[in-house]
Amino acid sequence: MIYKIHHLHCGTMCPVCGPLFGQNGFKAHLVCHCLLVETDRGLVLIDTGLGVQDYLHTRARLGRIIEKTGGIQHNLDLTAIAQIQRLGFSPRDVKHIMVSHLDFDHAGGISDFPEATVHILSTEFNAAQRAATLKDKARYKSAQFKNHRYWNFIEPAQGDSWFNLNCVQGFNLFHDEILMIPLHGHTEGHCGIAIKQNNGWLFFCGDAYYSHHQLNPDIKLKALNRTEMLFAVDNKLRLENLHKIQQLAQSEKNIELICAHDPVELERYSS
């Protein structure tokens, strides 16, 4: 049973050239939008943003290039662990972590919750373990998660339909109130997470899109599209899933759509 959803701001990055990320200005303003879900099975953290060690030892954890170009705003108060404690919980109350993918700005907080079980598509974990290409080496930082002990690897086989998408088979820990929805393209095992609400669904799309403007297919952001092409391991699949997300936005008013990095979307939920 789901009791409450908290929206967490788990990192700010300000890389140069806002248009590359669908924004105006010389520098972009990107957030790490994560979710904390209170359930009858303990707290569930959805994506983890940047972790404590990412701030304290940025070059060692993330590398010199990200340290120099990522524009990371150093603020330990933005870590998931700090915000969870401010809400009155203990880090040990986080029993489950669900990650859309293992890019450094989504997986950094895993090491702050050593007793939680991380649920992830097996294809994503395997891609991070291989890290065979320069692109993989830039995005996956194994120091963030290599020592974590508790994993639940989920095969990306399609299960029941969920609107115009499909959830994965065999993930029923939360009695179909939290679903993992494959959204491949950005990475090999990228997925969204759908959470049942009283009046519909909240659909966390990770990096399947970057800007709320992309939910309108009539708005063309050429520079952002080039950025996403660069990041994608399969751009055709990325575009197919983006089109399905746009269809949801246009036709399903009982689904709230959010992505991981848009500050405008995060602001909707700020108290």
User: What are the structural domain ranges in the chain?
Assistant: 2-267
Rounded average pLDDT over 97-122: 98
**pTM assigned to the model:** 0.97
Domain 2-267: what homologous superfamily?
Ribonuclease Z/Hydroxyacylglutathione hydrolase-like (3.60.15.10)
Structure confidence by residue, pLDDT tens digits, 38-68: 999 999 999 999 999 999 999 999 999 999 9
Rounded average pLDDT over 209-233: 97
Task: Please tell me the predicted confidence (pLDDT) of residue 130.
Answer: 94
Structure confidence by residue, pLDDT tens digits, 13-26: 999 999 999 999 99
* Structure-block tokens of residue 147: 């020592």
Structure confidence by residue, pLDDT tens digits, 175-207: 999 999 999 999 999 999 999 999 999 999 999
CA angle 95, 60, 16 (to 5 degrees): 95
Rounded Cα distance between 233 and 235, Å, is: 6
Per-chain mean pLDDT for the chain: 97
Rounded average pLDDT over 242-253: 98
Say if residue 271's pLDDT is above 70.
no
Is residue 250 within a helix (H) or strand (E), and if so which, with residue range?
Answer: helix 235-251
pLDDT band at 270; cut points 50, 70, 90: confident
Q: How far is CA 157 from CA 62, 169, 189, 208, in A?
A: 32, 6, 11, 19
